[in-house]
Structure 1
Amino acid sequence: MAQNYWILATGLVLIIEGIGPMLFPNKWRGMIQQIAEMDTNGLRRFGGVLVVSGACILFIFS
């Protein structure tokens, strides 16, 4: 049963990640270029914010 949740979560992530390039390809490309140009510490902070935000969302809604 728990394995089904991982499959569903993976599918949901793929859907959410695909919405940006599907609907706004030029804006998405620009955003990816800006992220690629970030320095290492800035990129780590950005990743950290994403991880903490995701953990908070999971904690609040589970």
Structure 2
Amino acid sequence: MKFFFCVIGMVMIVEGLPYFAFPGKMKEMVQKMLGIEDNTLRKFGFVLMLAGLCIIYVFMKGQ
């Protein structure tokens, strides 16, 4: 459980960093995302989840 919360904390750091470092650019990106179709965003999210799963698999398999 300790490892799980460590991972969640790291994800929150990585997710929050662009908002902290570049708030103006993040606002612009959110505005652009409003114009992207739902299916495109869904596919992009799926690809990111799949990539994350592959990374976890590769690195956990080595241990």
TM-score (norm 1): 0.82
Deviation at 1:4, TM superposition (A): 0.6
TM-score (norm 2): 0.81
SS in 2 for 1:37: coil
Q: Which residue of 1 aligns with 2:6?
A: 8
Q: Which runs of 4+ in 1 moved over 6 A?
A: none
Aligned length: 60
Q: Percent identity?
A: 35
Q: Please, which of 25, 28, 46 is the counterpart of residue 26 of structure 2?
A: 28
Deviation at 1:53, TM superposition (A): 1.3
SS in 2 for 1:38: coil
Deviation at 1:48, TM superposition (A): 0.7
Deviations along 1:5-52, one digit per CA (max 9) or x if unpaired, are 111011001100111001111111222222232112101111111101
Q: Please, which of 27, 41, 54 is the counterpart of residue 56 of structure 1?
A: 54
Name structure 2 gaps, 5 residues minimum.
none
